[in-house]
């Protein structure tokens, strides 16, 4: 079950790729309370100015392989 709000957990692990909900705040939900597919983007867009090494480290910790 997806958490109630993006403040709790805005990340998604889909096929070993980490994504975030670009609709935060004010997430749009369908009947299953999941965000629309078009609102989920690569998580790198969440931190556009973050150095690549930091993004790599976050992925290494958060993405289960």
Write down the pTM of the prediction: 0.41
- Quote helix, strand, coil % in the chain, to nearest 5: 30, 20, 55
Q: Which residue ranges make up each domain of the chain?
A: 11-62
Handedness of CA 43, 12, 22, 25 (dihedral sign): negative
Q: Are 45 and 20 in contact (CB under 8 A)?
A: yes
Q: Is the peptide bond before 25 cis (omega within 30 degrees of 0)?
A: yes
Q: What is the pLDDT of residues 6-58, one digit of tens each?
A: 555 666 777 766 676 666 654 555 555 666 666 666 777 777 788 989 888 87
65 band by pLDDT with thresholds 50, 70 and 90: low
At 1 the pLDDT is 44
Instruction: Indicate whether 60 pLDDT > 70.
Output: yes
């Amino acid at each position: 079950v997806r958490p109630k709000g993006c403040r709790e957990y805005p990340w998604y692990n889909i096929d070993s790729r980490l994504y975030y909900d670009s609709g935060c705040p004010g997430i749009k939900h369908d009947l299953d309370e999941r965000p629309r597919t078009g609102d989920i983007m690569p998580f790198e867009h969440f931190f556009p100015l973050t150095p690549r090494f930091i993004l790599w480290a976050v992925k290494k910790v958060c993405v289960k392989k």
